[in-house]
Chain A
Amino acid sequence: MDIITVKNLYKVFGADPAKGLALVKAGNSKEEIYEQTGLTVGVQDASFTVAKGEIFVVMGLSGSGKSTLVRMLNRLIEPTAGEVWVDGDNVLTMNRDQLVKFRRSKTSMVFQSFALMPHLNVLDNVCFGLELDGMPRPQREERGMDALKQVGLEGWEKAAPGELSGGMQQRVGLARGLAMDPDILLMDEAFSALDPLIRSEMQDELLKLQDRHERTIVFISHDLDEALRIGDRIAIMEGGRVVQVGSPEEILQNPADDYVRAFFRGVDPTGVISAGDIVRDNQPKVIWHTPEGSPRATLELLNNQDREFGYVVGSDRKFYGVVSTDSLRDLLEAKNGKGNIEQAFLEAATPVQEGECLQDILPQVASHLWPIPVVDENNLYQGVVSKNRFLRTLYRAGNDNGNGNDLDQ
Chain B
Amino acid sequence: MLRFEDQIIPLDSWINQFIDWLVEGYRWFFQAIKWPVEFTLTGFETGLLAVPPLVVILVFVAIAWKSSGFRLALFTAITLVLIGLLGLWEDTMITLAMVFSSVFFCVLAGIPLGIWAGRSDRFEAIIRPCLDAMQTTPAFVYLVPIVMLFSIGNVAGVLATIVFALPPLIRLTSLGLRQVHPELVEAGFALGATNWQVLRKVQIPLALPTIMAGLNQTIMMALSMVVIAALIGAGGLGSPVILGLNTMDIGQATIGGLAIVLMAIILDRITQSMSHKNNTQGGD
When distances are taken between beta carbons in the complex, the residues of chain A under 8 Å from B201 are 128, 131-132
Stretch at the interface among B107-115, B180-188, B215-223: B180-188
Query: Which residue from B184, B191, B202 sits with its C-beta under 8 Å from A104?
Result: B191
- A118 near B284 (CB under 8 angstroms)? yes
A115 at the interface (CB under 8 A from B): yes
- B281 near A115 (CB under 8 angstroms)? no
A residues 128-144 in Cβ contact with B at 8 Å? 128-129, 131-133
B282 at the interface (CB under 8 A from A): yes
Interface residues on A, range: 20 to 34
**Looking across the interface, which residue of chain B has its beta carbon closest to that of A96?**
B194
Query: Which residue from A103, A118, A131 sits with its C-beta under 8 Å from B282?
Result: A118
A residues 173-188 in Cβ contact with B at 8 Å? 176, 180, 186
From B206, B281, B284, name the one whose CB has the most chain A CB atoms within 10 angstroms: B284
What distance in Å separates the Cβ of B107 from its nearest Cβ neighbour in chain A? 21
**Looking across the interface, which residue of chain B has its beta carbon closest to that of A163?**
B284
B265 at the interface (CB under 8 A from A): no
- A103 near B189 (CB under 8 angstroms)? yes
Query: CB-defined interface of A70-114 with B at 8 Å, one 1/0 digit per residue?
Result: 000010100000000000000000001000110111011101010
A103/B184 contact (C-beta < 8 A), A119-B206, A119-B281, A119-B282 known: no
A161 at the interface (CB under 8 A from B): yes
Please measure, in the bound complex, the distance between the C-alpha atom of A129 and the C-alpha atom of B193, giving whole angstroms: 8
- B202 near A108 (CB under 8 angstroms)? no
When distances are taken between beta carbons in the complex, the residues of chain A under 8 Å from B190 are 74, 76, 103, 107-109, 186
When distances are taken between beta carbons in the complex, the residues of chain A under 8 Å from B282 are 118-119
When distances are taken between beta carbons in the complex, the residues of chain B under 8 Å from A105 are 192
A residues 158-195 in Cβ contact with B at 8 Å? 160-162, 176, 180, 186
From B184, B190, B194, name the one whose CB has the most chain A CB atoms within 10 angstroms: B190
Please measure, in the bound complex, the distance between the C-alpha atom of A118 and the C-alpha atom of B279, giving whole angstroms: 11
What distance in Å separates the Cβ of B54 from its nearest Cβ neighbour in chain A? 39
A176/B283 contact (C-beta < 8 A), A117-B184, A118-B206 known: no
- B186 near A115 (CB under 8 angstroms)? yes
Query: Which residue from A115, A128, A162 sits with its C-beta under 8 Å from B181?
Result: A115
From B186, B189, B191, B193, name the one whose CB has the most chain A CB atoms within 10 angstroms: B191
Given contacts A105-B192, A107-B190, A115-B181, 18 further A-B contacts (CB under 8 A): A76-B189, A76-B190, A100-B192, A100-B194, A103-B190, A103-B191, A103-B192, A104-B191, A108-B191, A113-B183, A117-B206, A118-B284, A128-B201, A129-B192, A131-B201, A132-B197, A132-B201, A186-B190
B residues 94-111 in Cβ contact with A at 8 Å? none
**Looking across the interface, which residue of chain A has its beta carbon closest to that of B205?**
A119
Please measure, in the bound complex, the distance between the C-alpha atom of A160 and the C-alpha atom of B201, giving whole angstroms: 17
Please measure, in the bound complex, the distance between the C-alpha atom of A111 and the C-alpha atom of B284, giving whole angstroms: 18
A residues 10-61 in Cβ contact with B at 8 Å? none
Please measure, in the bound complex, the distance between the C-alpha atom of A105 and the C-alpha atom of B188, giving whole angstroms: 14
When distances are taken between beta carbons in the complex, the residues of chain B under 8 Å from A115 are 181, 183-184, 186-187
- B187 near A111 (CB under 8 angstroms)? yes
- A132 near B191 (CB under 8 angstroms)? yes
Please measure, in the bound complex, the distance between the C-alpha atom of A28 and the C-alpha atom of B191, giving whole angstroms: 36
Please measure, in the bound complex, the distance between the C-alpha atom of A115 and the C-alpha atom of B191, giving whole angstroms: 11
What distance in Å separates the Cβ of B59 from its nearest Cβ neighbour in chain A? 29
**Looking across the interface, which residue of chain B has its beta carbon closest to that of A177?**
B191
- A104 near B284 (CB under 8 angstroms)? no
A residues 339-373 in Cβ contact with B at 8 Å? none
- B191 near A129 (CB under 8 angstroms)? yes
When distances are taken between beta carbons in the complex, the residues of chain A under 8 Å from B188 are 128, 132
A101/B184 contact (C-beta < 8 A), A132-B197, A160-B284 known: no
Please measure, in the bound complex, the distance between the C-alpha atom of A162 and the C-alpha atom of B280, giving whole angstroms: 12
26 CB-based A-B contacts, threshold 8 Å: A96-B194, A100-B194, A101-B192, A103-B191, A103-B192, A104-B192, A108-B190, A109-B187, A109-B190, A109-B191, A111-B183, A111-B187, A115-B183, A117-B184, A117-B205, A118-B283, A118-B284, A132-B192, A132-B193, A132-B194, A132-B201, A133-B192, A160-B284, A162-B284, A180-B191, A180-B192
Please measure, in the bound complex, the distance between the C-alpha atom of A132 and the C-alpha atom of B195, giving whole angstroms: 11
**Looking across the interface, which residue of chain B has its beta carbon closest to that of A131?**
B201
What distance in Å separates the Cβ of A72 from its nearest Cβ neighbour in chain B? 12
B residues 215-268 in Cβ contact with A at 8 Å? none
When distances are taken between beta carbons in the complex, the residues of chain A under 8 Å from B202 are 117
When distances are taken between beta carbons in the complex, the residues of chain A under 8 Å from B206 are 117-119
Please measure, in the bound complex, the distance between the C-alpha atom of A104 and the C-alpha atom of B206, giving whole angstroms: 23
When distances are taken between beta carbons in the complex, the residues of chain B under 8 Å from A101 are 192
